[in-house]
């Protein structure tokens, strides 16, 4: 209590997040990537109550347990529809997840790099879903997800 300098130093946050550092960290490979099965219906970027519950249970603990890290939220689509539509849709899906994390959980937006992958980085190869032990619709559903990647400082 007597040392006001120490008191001021202790009051400073351990970590601050900003877009410049986030973009620098984003240039490095992710430490961990977690496919999170936030299922979207074909053509939709709207979060359902089930999707919100998945974010709450699967994403939030990972973010909280990596207090100093930045994160990449990448949205994906299946191969149905035009490429242009899927590029936009994958970005909207990732944005929907970020918006939820910022509004509901009060994480700083600057902590997240949001990327739309469209169907370019699928979890399941839709031309050969059997190799993944799935039928085509299961494979497409797996590709309509969002991924969370930990970007260490």
Task: Look at 3 and 1; give whichever has higher pLDDT.
Answer: 3
Q: How far apart, in whole angstroms, are the C-alpha atoms of residue 102 and residue 24?
A: 21
Give the pLDDT confidence of 88-107 residue by residue, as tens digits: 999 999 999 999 999 999 99
Q: How far apart, in whole angstroms, are the C-alpha atoms of residue 153 and residue 53?
A: 28
Give the pLDDT confidence of 12-22 residue by residue, as tens digits: 766 788 888 88
Give the pLDDT confidence of 52-91 residue by residue, as tens digits: 999 999 999 999 999 889 999 999 999 999 999 999 999 9
The vertex-32 CA angle with 139 and 152, nearest 5°, equals 145
Pairing verdict, β 70-75 and 112-116: parallel
Q: What is the pLDDT of residue 19?
A: 86
Closest Cα partner for 90 from 114, 112, 117, 72? Answer: 117
Q: What is the pLDDT of residue 13?
A: 67
Q: What is the pLDDT of residue 52?
A: 95
Give the pLDDT confidence of 122-147 residue by residue, as tens digits: 889 999 999 999 999 999 988 988 88
Quick one: how far is CA 81 from the chain centroid? 23
DSSP 8-state code for residue 150: E
Confidence of residue 111 (pLDDT cuts 50, 70, 90): very high
Burial of 4 (0-12, 13-18, 19+ CB in 10 A): exposed
Share of the chain above pLDDT 90, in %: 56
Can you tell me which residue has the tokens 């050969």? 128
């Amino acid at each position: 209590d007597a040392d006001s300098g120490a008191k001021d130093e202790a009051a400073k946050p351990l970590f601050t997040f900003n877009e410049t550092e986030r973009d620098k960290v984003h240039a490095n490979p992710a430490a961990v990537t977690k496919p999170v099965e936030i299922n979207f219906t074909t053509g939709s970027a709207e979060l359902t109550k089930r999707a919100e519950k998945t974010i709450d249970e699967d994403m939030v603990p990972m973010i909280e347990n990596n207090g100093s890290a930045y994160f990449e939220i990448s949205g994906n689509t299946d191969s149905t529809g035009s490429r242009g539509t899927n590029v936009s849709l994958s970005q909207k899906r990732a944005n929907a997840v970020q918006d939820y994390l910022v509004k509901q959980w009060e994480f700083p937006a600057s902590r997240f790099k949001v990327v739309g992958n469209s169907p370019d980085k699928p979890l399941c190869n839709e031309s050969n879903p059997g190799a993944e032990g799935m039928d085509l619709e299961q494979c497409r559903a797996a590709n309509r997800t969002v991924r969370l990647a930990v970007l260490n400082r």
